[in-house]
Each structure stands twice: as structure tokens, then as C-alpha cells.
Chain A
Amino acid sequence: MLGVLVRKDIRRWWADRQSVIVTLALPLLLTAVLGVSFGGFGDDGPQMEAIPLALVGDPPQLIRDSLDNALDQSGFFRPVWCDSLTADSLVRKGEVRAALVFPDMSPAILFSGEKVVFELWKDPVSAFQADIVQQILERMLLEVRAGEAVYVAVWPEDWYPAQGEHHPFDMFFKDTSLLEVWRQVRDGTSEAEAAWKQMSTIFDHQVVLSDAFATPAVDLVTYERSAGEVGEMESPQSSRNMFDWILPGMGIFFMMFAAANAGGDLHRERASGTLRRLLVAPLRDSDLLLGKWSFAAANGLLQMMVLFGAGKLLFKMNLGPDPFALALVALATAGMLASFYLPLALLTRDEKQLGQVSTGVTLFLALIGGNFIQPEAMPAVLQTIGRFTPNYWANTAFTSVIAYNRGVGSVGMHLLILMSITVVFLGLSVLIYKRRGGKVGLL
């Protein structure tokens, strides 16, 4: 029965040029436009250009080395160390996207109680790439601040006093040379002694803290899991082909529209009277809903295949190490989206209303669920909210397989979540259908 219903819907879809264009031609066009604008008809597809970044200042060697290392490894940045004048002109000329200016990190400054300020100079012309730098930087600072917060929580008495208050440290760093301080400590001036004591305590505390932070509590370790075996392997190289990052999100975005449109077929069948005919045929209620669901899922799957096929053929897009993993993710995504829009279709009055509601919902979900911006590149708060969108799990599953080139083990949880959403929303649809007087509501 289901086969008959789906075959019928596919035939109708195929006969309706307009819907074919919307499902297939538009995504293809988008791929082509993206490809051309990123200049990607070459051998390896459009490469994401490393973002040139100027670094100014003289941070301690340790920081300098680890930063250099991190930036280089990410593959997304090309750091250039230079002085502030050069950096300024490089930013203005657009030769670097941004310049990061380190504050003076000498102990005198660090212990002065003043704020330590990093500066970021952005090139307004390529705001997008500069924003990426900014977001990464903000994340880093957030971590530092988190460390500070811990410190204050544990040893509040160490914290800098409010402005204007007298502090025994003042004598160490205000208008005194270290030599002078040393003399005072040696001679046992009472004030110097108190200050010395307090500073030793702070040093002790900091030693304790730096010990604690020396072995990071949170770290990123990548595991490759395939077919039961678990083991630490070298982390797979993440891809630098533009399409591997952009296309899945875009594809899912289009699939969301296609799924809403397929759900709207219930309204179209009602308007054309054929729903009535289906209702007087010996079918069960679930056949009708499952039929529409299968059609919507098949439709979405086809769309994905065309889009990824084009990406692969034209732009050398990566499709992951494991075709099985990709197929599973695509299937789970198509099924999830098909069920997600069914309740919406059942709750709306007609196709027009469904169109309005679903467009709003889709745009919103796409924005916070990471279809346009990689979830990792979004602020932490949005990332957290994004986790509650169904498309987030589809997006991150595709990113894992395609952009990070991982196997099926990396998306186990994603698949589970996607399938759970599918089941929940299908159940919800049946419930709504029955609740609204089933047939009566639809007639």
C-alpha cells in the first residue's frame, strides 16, 4: 500500500516541473554559484584560504611559541609577527584580515591590578574572516577569565582591592626600583614585610593553581571508532575544501524546505479532493501519514544525492572515509526532517499558512542550528541553544563525516538522536491526526 502511495507522489512530483526545479535545480545552481565565487573548479576543490593575521607585541616566549603552534596547526591562519606600525598598515591595506596586539605582559603590569587588554584590529572589508579571529580570541579570553573566577572564588582575600584603597603592593611597583624594594625587605621595614608576606602567599596560591592548570582538566582527544574496536589513533586531518564545510549545511537547509513542501502535499490533496478518495479507500490512518513521510524522506534523500554528487564531481568534495556512514547520516537526516514537518502540516489550515509558518521555523532553526555558520564558530550560548534544534544534529553529523573525515563511530550519538526525533514526531503526527477528529479534521 505504502509503495503505491509513494510511487504516486513521486510521479506527481516528477510531472510538476516546478517542484522538480525547487528540489533539484536550485540546490545545483547554488553549488555552482558557490563554486564559481570561491574559484573552485581546480584539482582539490575550492581551498579555504588561510587567514593572514598580524601579531604585534612581545609576549613571553612560552605564549608566543604555543600560539604560533596552535595557529599553524589549525591550518586556517597564517600568522605574521611584526611591529605595531607595520601591522596597522597591513590591516589598512587589507593584506592581513586582522592584527592581534598583545598587552605588555611584564610582571609589573600583571600585578598592578589594571586590566590586561588584548586588542584586535579588524579589516572592515573582510569582516567575516576578521570576525572568525575575534570569536576565537573571545573564546580564549573566556577561558582565562574562567581561571580568574576560580581564583577569586578560592582565595577572595588575594584579589585586588577596590580602587583608591591603599595596598601594600603599591610600594613594590609604584616609583620604586626592584633594588629599592629588596633593600627595604632586607632591612625589615614593617610595611615591606607585610607586603612581602602577602605576595608570597599569592605566589604560593598561583603555584598551586598553575599546578592545577598544568594538566588541563578538559582536553580534546579524538577517537576513531569503527566496528567495535576502540582505540586512540592519530586524529584525522580536517578538510580544507570549502565545500566540505558549507555544502552539507546548505543542503540540509534546502532539505528542510523540501520536507515542509512535501508535508504541504496533504493540503494539496485535500484541496484537489483526492484526499477524500484516499480516505474512502481501504487504508489505515497510519498508511496515509507514513506514505507522506516516506515520500518526503525520499524526496530529501534524492536532493542530497544530487547535491553531493555535484559537489563531488565538480568540486572534488570529500564524502568521508566511509560511504556507509554518509548513507546512514543522509538517511537519518531525511527521515528526521520528513517527520519534523508533518505535525506542522497537520496543524495548519492550508498550504499557504503552512508555507508561512514553516518558512519562519526553517529560517530560525537554520540560523541557530548551524546551517549557515559552523556550530563550532558560534558563540557558546548559541551553541548550547542550537543543541535543541533537530538540524544541529544533522549538521554536526555531516561535518563529522565530511569535513573531519571521520567514520561511523563518530556519529553514533547523532544517528540515535536523529532517529529518536523521527519516531517522536511521527508519533506526534498520528496523535494530532487522531485528535483532530482524524478524517473530519482533514475534510
Chain B
Amino acid sequence: MIQVHELGKRFGDVKAVDGVSFTVAAGEIFGLLGPNGAGKTTTISILATLLPPDSGRASVCGLDVTTDGEAIRRRIGVVPQEMALYEELTAEQNLDVFGRLYGLKGDQLKRRVAELLELSELTEHARRPVKGFSGGMKRRLNIMMGLVHAPDVLFLDEPTVGIDAQARTRILDLIRGMNEQGLTVLYTTHYLEEAEQLCDRIGVIDHGRLAALGDKEQLIHEIGESDAVRLLLATDRHADLAADAARWPGVSWAGFRRGKFEIQCDDGAPVVARLQTWLTEDGLELDQLEVIRPNLESLYLKITGRALRE
């Protein structure tokens, strides 16, 4: 659905996008993950034919971004990072304007607008000027605006910035729902949890370069870190445990680390079961237990050398 090959774009001395390549299959949710200024918005702008690339090639729906701009624009929806709504108009009028620009009219337009309002739970606010909306309501409408014409591909540029967890969950559900209907999504964010929850495949971008690309699971595996079961026993029998646990299958190391007893292993689950048996045999009790799985956070830290937070 989307093909990007060695894409480059510079603004003066800044290489905003620097040789980025990836593909997004139809029906996929692809996450473009990166810190501020990484080049996410620039990449989306090029794909949405708002900016011409300096080098490389890109195509959307099989159409070239530099030559088939208008044809691409008919088939894509864009949700800009910044809110882009007519504040003076009502939610309904906002949707109506863009529906008409994409050639919808009459009953078809009415039905589509009502549908989107319903989907974003804004039906009861349909006739209110957007000016008076809360941040979350505006965000939801902002997304709907990119969907009026039922596009094949949707570009979402950090659609959840600045809203509370509840509203965010609703938006993610919304996107997942639309994806199940066959929409291809390119989603940029700098929230790890979002990418983890939502995306099938992920590209990590930093300083305009793609630092990692692949399946979520595959990426995590690439970090090369194993699971860790961290615990403290109620009575000090940690030395015995260390000696025993080292012989359990799949365990690579056991001992004290960062103030806790840690068992490093390929997979945490069987180790916890084994631990349970070990405890009951000796009549021991646990003071604390946690299983740590490597996640995108660790990947991030590893790639960019900094934590990804707003």
C-alpha cells in the first residue's frame, strides 16, 4: 500500500528525512516511532503529497507521490498533528465541508456525517461550534475529518498528544475498529505503549534515519535481552535458591542484582511455576515478585540513548 525507498528531505542544513525505506502492506497498522524532531511529520507530509521529496521514491496505493498528487489525495486521509478544524463552525459543518470537497452530497453525505459523529461519540454535540469543545473532543473530531471520504489509507500524526488516558484509549479503539474494516494506517507517535498496543509493525526513526524496522516481537527479540524474574524471599534463603535455580532449564543466571534477587531466563512463565513448587517444598514465602519482559522502552533506550517521553 505504501512503499518508501531511500526517501530524503532537507530544510537548509537540517536533514529532516535521511534515506528512509519501509513498506506498509494493505490492512496493516504501521507505527512510526520517534522523538521530537525525528522526521515523522516530514515523512507523512511527503507521503500525503504536501512536500516534494529531495531524493528517493515513495508511492501510495501504487501511485507516485511526485507525479500523481491529485489521484493520491483522493484516496488518502490525513490527520495532522496540530488540530485542524474550523473553530467557528459546528462539528457537523466541519465534516460537511470536507465531505463536499471530496464530492459527497445529499443523503450520502448526511449519512456519512452522522456515522462519523456517532463513531466519535460526538452526536449530541454535533450542532455546537468547535470552539467550545474539550481537547479530547477536538482530537476525536480531528480524526474523523480525515475519514469523511472513506479513504483507503489513513495517516495519523500523533493523534493522541495532550489528552487523558481514557480519551486516548477511546481513540486507539476507534483506530483499531477502522483497521478491522480494512483501513491501512500509518501512525506516528512517541508513546511506546501506543505503538506496542496498536501496531503490527514498527519503524523507529531518529534524526531522520530509520534506526530499526520490523515486527513488534521481532524487534524486541533483537534487543537480545532475556526475561527476568525478580523477587525477595521472606526469610533469607537466597543462597540456596541461587544454587538450585541455576540448574533449572532455560535459566542463564541467578543472583543478586540491583538490590533484588534475579533469575535471568528465556521465558519467565515456567520459571515462576518452578519457583512456586520450590517454595512450597520448603514451606517458604515470598516477600516480592515481579517478572520483567524486555519491551520497546529498552529498545528505544538502546537505539536513541534517551528515554521517550513527551
A residues with a Cβ closer than 8 A to B are 1, 4-5, 8, 11-12, 15-16, 272-274, 276-284, 439-440, 443
Contacts and interface: CB of A to CB of B under 8 A. Distances in A.
11 contacts: A1-B101, A8-B93, A11-B88, A16-B88, A272-B83, A273-B80, A273-B82, A278-B101, A280-B73, A281-B73, A443-B45
Contacts, number: 68
B88 A12 contact: yes
Contacts of B239: none
Contacts of B100: 4
Contacts of B101: 1, 4-5, 278, 281-283
Contacts of B84: 272-274, 276-277
B285 interface: no
Nearest to B69: A282
Given A12-B89, A272-B84, A273-B80, A280 B48 contact: yes
Given A12-B88, A274-B85, A277-B145, A439 B51 contact: yes
A354 B132 CA distance: 28
Contacts of B76: 280
Interface residues of B, number: 28
B98 interface: yes
Contact of A282 (B86, B89, B93, B102): B102
A273 B83 CA distance: 6
Most chain A C-beta atoms within 10 Å of own C-beta, residue among B83, B100, B129: B100
Of the candidates B45, B98, B101, the one having the most CB atoms from chain A within 10 angstroms of its own CB is B101
B49 A280 contact: yes
Contacts of A15: 88-89, 129
Sorted nearest first, the 10 A-B pairs with minimum C-beta distance are A273-B84, A15-B88, A4-B100, A273-B82, A281-B101, A280-B78, A282-B73, A8-B97, A12-B88, A282-B74
A88 B205 CA distance: 90
B48 A12 contact: no
B86 A12 contact: yes
A380 B271 CA distance: 101
A280 B155 CA distance: 11
Contact of A281 (B45, B83, B102): B102
Contacts of A274: 84-86
Contacts of A8: 86, 89, 93, 97
A4 B97 contact: yes
Contacts of B129: 15
A443 B98 CA distance: 19
B85 A272 contact: yes
B98 to A, nearest CB: 7
B301 interface: no
B290 interface: no
Contact of B98 (A273, A281, A440): A281
